[in-house]
Amino acid sequence: MSARRGIAALVCGLWIVAALAIDAGEAFPDAPRQERYLALVHELRCVVCQNQTIADSNADLAADLRHQVRDRIARGESDEDIKRYLTDRYGDFILYDPPWSARSAVLWVAPALLLVVALVVIGRVIRARSSELNQEESS
Amino acid sequence: MTRVLRQFWPFWVFLGLAAVFAKALIGIDRGAIDPHAIQSPLLGKRAPEFDLPSVLDPTQRVRLQDSAGRYRVINVWGSWCVACKAEHEALLKLHLQQSIQFIGIDWKDDPSTALEYVRKLGNPYDAIADDQAGQVAIDYGVYGAPESFLISPQGIVLAKHTGPLTEAAFAAEFAPLMKPGATS
Amino acid sequence: MMPEWGTLALALAIVLSLSGAVLGLGPMPLPVELNLKLLRNCTLGVWWALAVAFALLVTALVTHDFSVAYVAKNSNTELPRLYCVAAAWGAHEGSLLLWALLLSLWSVLVARHSRSLPPTFRLKVLGVLALVQLGFLLFTLLTSSPFERNLVVPDEGADLNPILQDPALALHPPLLYMGYVGTAVAFAFAVAAMLTGHLDQAFARWVRPWTLASWLALTLGITLGSFWAYYELGWGGWWFWDPVENASFMPWLAATALIHSLAVTAQRGLFRQWTLLLSILTFSLSLLGTFLVRSGVLVSVHSFAADPTRGLFILGLLVFYIVGALLLYALKGQSLTQRGGFDATSRESFLLFNNALLVTTALLILLGTLWPLFLEVFQWGQISVGPPYFNVAFMIPMLPLVALASVGAHAAWKHGALWRRARGLAATAAIAMVLAVLLRSVYPSGGSWLTLCGFFAGCLILCSSLALWWWDLRASFGLRHAAVGMVVAHLGIGVFTIGVTGVSSFAIEKDVSLAPQESAVVADYRVTFIALQPVKGPNYDGLGGTFELRHANQWLATVESQKRVFHAGGAPMTHAAIFSRGGYDLFVALGEDLGAGKWSLRLQYKPLVRLIWWGGVLMALGGLWALVFRAKEVKA
């Protein structure tokens, strides 16, 4: 296990920068597909260099995965199809944008929930302090 | 009681968090938890079919269905892979002892180098598939070499082992899943 | 022989810290003044011991003493001297020593500049600092000593991680640690306040300069780290929501909330529970960061070599300090609520929102960072949480906060009296909207409705802060007031927001393959590959590609991107070429040799990106300004 980790560290770590992450192939001639491609590769987690997206990772596997994404877009698959293809094989781990599911519901609900809670609590405090001020002033 | 809960709430929250961390650390120390490991969604599902040229004889094809009806171990490796050398001895031994099929997937490798490798170090595989494109590896959700999969006679993925496959790991993780009579 | 002196120095520091903790927090058989004098001497003693230890480590690195394991692992004979010194904090053990050294520096500064504090209070503050110091020194000496020897002395050392071989490395960790470690001072003050019952406006005034100072350092440290990642890592990113980045950002958010909460406590004696909890929270988050980087529970590009047993030790320290503080809070906290009314549109009210939104943001980041770990620990599956989540989760509380801050700064204490300003503020908002639309129109393509929101929020706080100075401060104080610091810091937020919005909405990234003499276009700029030549550095060799940048056929610059192969470690590293001008950056990164003379290149157009770090610098400047004037206040 540590030998595998060692190789991954050499490829990923902080050592190599971006060189192999650069695509050698042609970009899509039309903007919408190229945008989809760029958006997708910036959302998918590299399974070797696990702190980078496949767009930025030097690993061979990242290049292979980028090719997969490119080929599938060229074949007309939707973003959902492509993501499903990858999660069928690597699990939700490969998505940096956690999909809506029981496991990630907390994450997606939290921002709104916390805001609402904060607003409610603050509202109460302000109301109390406001009436305190009124009492102070009127007495 | 509720007064204790309310008054001490930051304390409880923090203690809870610390407990989770402690559990995580102990898990990592014991090897039960590995934040780097990716859990395979293939377990219990049908193993992906493949049809690749053979490394040993490029005119022949290697297919998963060729070994249907038997337990097989699919081992993803490469001649460039340092950790694979570590498991080579064990693979040779296991191949001799077990009567199950060992299929090697030669991942992102030059077939002639791979051929040299098994000629020099011994061939533990019944068949070696040439996966230069890496498509089959992706199909199997491989994220590093070596990785080994145990496939049932019906073609279901029973287990996955990442890292060098040792005799101990085989005995602990693969053997128990195989019905008696499959090994000798 | 020298490294053993280092170990001795560490041991001495431990003894002195222990004495300090006992003197400050233990029973007091001696008269207070004597206690205090002894404690101050202990603090000073710890500083000298650690300074010696640190100097010894640096000496060992610079003289290439490979008998010391740390030196052999992190430096070699070809490493330039600057990086030999910087290697002192480049890895786990050395960075811990730096941590301890800087904590000691803060302690000495507090010891010397706290004459206006009541003696018992002062004792407790220094005692708590000594106790924190003790914990970390024990951790260092027992599990992570940088002075361990190699049984077999190698002829040559390994290399310092090449990506760390950069001048910014000399600054980023020390700055960041000054900030991280400085949160211990606010913590010490909070604990002392709880122990002595001194929880009033005076307490807030005493601790304010210290909090400002550590916040300032943290701001600069984070800004520098982000900038360094941008020009060093080659992919043009400046923030990745990596767990360790988050670990430094959360204390920053909490410290920002703390500064603002202190303003209320100092002014009206309110928000004392907030202030205490925030002091504890800030330090906890700082310790949590230390824990996350070194324990291996999270996958991070910043992690030091992971070791679960070390992790357990730090967790133990974390639990000891925080549980202690929270217990104290539970026992003393209830009696704190103070009478004092304020209006719904008063400054207190806005600051309450401020606290809540900042804490909410910190909690959201904490949740996102730790959730994958929770799932793993309880075996509920596996997910990844990355930039797509954090970018959204961060914006939800923060954009409203920026808007609120624009208005809130104008609110008076107790009675908001914003109606006085209504017309002025409306005019400010209108101007901000016009500016935002103008800015938006500079970039013909890309962006969304969010872009306009971001620009508007940034322009709003810019205009509103300038207006604040113009209406309220110019006449009475000119530039000589702590509130001017606030104005400058808020200007920084505006600049930052505009930068982030610009680069997120309009940046263009293009991968191309070019042979020499060929060119490609990215966003109106033509990049021509001129030539390839070998390069040689002090400890690396490689290839450099020269590129010519043109805009509308006008020559802009000729830049060089290099691929370096370090002698000590085989893997090649790309050093991107960055051309920067006022409103944008152009990025060229040399990739791989594709054969037939062609090379892969990544080209990027980054509009407004430098505003991100100028914003950070402005914020820090504002903090410094406020610090200078607040410190004068405390002396008075």
pLDDT tens for each residue of C361-372:
999 999 999 999
Task: Answer whether residue C636 shows pLDDT above 50.
Answer: no
Residue B183 has pLDDT above 60, yes or no: no
Contacts for C120 with CB less than 8 Å, ≥ 6 apart: C32, C196
Q: What type of residue is C399?
A: L
Residue range C412-459, pLDDT digits in tens:
888 878 888 889 999 999 999 999 999 999 998 878 899 999 999 999
Please check whether residues B70 and B16 belong to one and the same domain.
no
C304 vs C625, higher pLDDT: C625
Decide if pLDDT at C24 tops 70. yes
Check whether residue B85 and residue B151 sit in a common domain.
yes
Q: Are residues B162 and B104 in the same domain?
A: yes
What six digits make up the tokens of C491?
A: 């200007």
Instruction: Name which of C306, C308, C327 is nearest B11 (Cβ-Cβ).
Output: C327
Would the CB atoms of B143 and A47 count as touching at under 8 Å? Answer: yes
| Domain containing residue B73: CATH number | 3.40.30.10
The answer to whether position B44 is within a domain reads: no
Mean pLDDT, to the nearest integer, of B150-178? 91
Secondary structure letter of residue C344 according to DSSP: T
Residue C582 tokens read as: 């006022």
Q: Fold for domain A28-99?
A: Helicase, Ruva Protein; domain 3 (1.10.8)
Identify whether B146 is preceded by a cis peptide bond (ω within 30 of 0). Answer: yes
CB of C29 within 8 Å of any CB in chain A?
Answer: no
Residues B98-111: what's their mean pLDDT? 90
Contact residues, chain C, for A18 at CB < 8 Å: 233-235, 574, 576, 589, 591, 602
Residue B81, pLDDT above cutoff 80: yes
Interface mutation target, options B138, B139, B140, B165, chain A, most CBs of A under 10 Å: B138
Q: Interface partners of A (3+ CB pairs, < 8 Å)?
A: B, C
Mean pLDDT of chain C: 90
**Three-point CA angle A104, A108, A114, nearest 5°:** 125
Select from A50, A55, A110 the Cβ nearest to the Cβ of C364.
A110
Residue whose structure tokens are 């609120």: C404
Distance between CA atoms of residues B153 and B72, nearest Å:
7
3-state secondary structure of A135: helix
Asked if residue B43 belongs to a domain, the reply is no
pLDDT at C533: 92
Radius of gyration of chain C (CA): 26
What is the SS3 assignment for B140? coil
The number of domains in chain B is 2
Residue A64 has pLDDT above 60, yes or no: yes
Please count the residue pairs, one from chain B and one from chain C, whose beta carbons lie less than 8 angstroms apart. 71
Q: Which of C101, C82, C85, C89 is nearest to C17 (CA)?
A: C101
Domain identity same for B124 and B164:
yes
Which pLDDT band holds residue A11 (cuts at 50, 70, 90)? low
Say which of A42, A107, A132 has its CB closest to residue C371: A107
CA–CA–CA angle C137, C140, C143 (5° rounding): 135
Domain that holds residue B2: 1-35
Mean pLDDT, residues C334-356: 86
Give the residue carrying structure tokens 């001649």.
Answer: B79
Extents of the domains making up chain C: 1-159, 508-608
Between CA C363 and CA A114 the distance in angstroms is 9
Residue B184, pLDDT > 50, answer no
- What pLDDT is recorded for position B98? 78
Which chain B positions have a beta carbon within 8 Å of C277's beta carbon?
A: 10
How far is the C-alpha of A97 from the C-alpha of A79, rounded, in Å?
13
Give how far B95 is from chain A: nearest CA, Å: 22
Q: Which residues of B touch C329 (CB under 8 A)?
A: 10-11
Radius of gyration of chain A (CA): 24
Predicted local confidence at residue A7, as pLDDT: 64
- The answer, yes or no, to whether residue B27 has pLDDT greater than 70, is yes
* Percent helix, strand and coil across chain A, each to the nearest 5: 65, 5, 35
* Token representation of residue C116: 């206006």
Whether residues B57 and B132 share a domain: the answer is yes
Q: Which of A4, A87, A93 sits opposite B144 (nearest CB)?
A: A4
Shared-domain flag, residues B19 and B63: no
CB atoms within 10 A of CB C231: 18
- Cα R_g (chain B), whole angstroms: 21
Distance from CA of B70 to the nearest CA of A (A): 24
Would you say C216 and C182 are in contact if contact means Cβ atoms under 8 Å apart? no
* Domain-embedded: residue B41: no
C308 contacts B29? CB cut-off 8 A: yes
DSSP for B64-125, please give it: GGGGTTS-EEEEEE-TT-HHHHHHHHHHHHHHHH--SEEEEEEET--HHHHHHHHHHH----
User: C385 and A103 in contact by Cβ < 8 A?
Assistant: no
Residues of C in contact with B22 (CB under 8 A): 312, 315
Same domain, B70 and B138: yes
pLDDT at C633 over 80: no
Is B81 an interface residue toward A (CB < 8 Å)?
yes
User: Whole-angstrom Cα distance, residue C150 to residue C154?
Assistant: 8
**Which of the 8 DSSP states describes residue B44?**
T
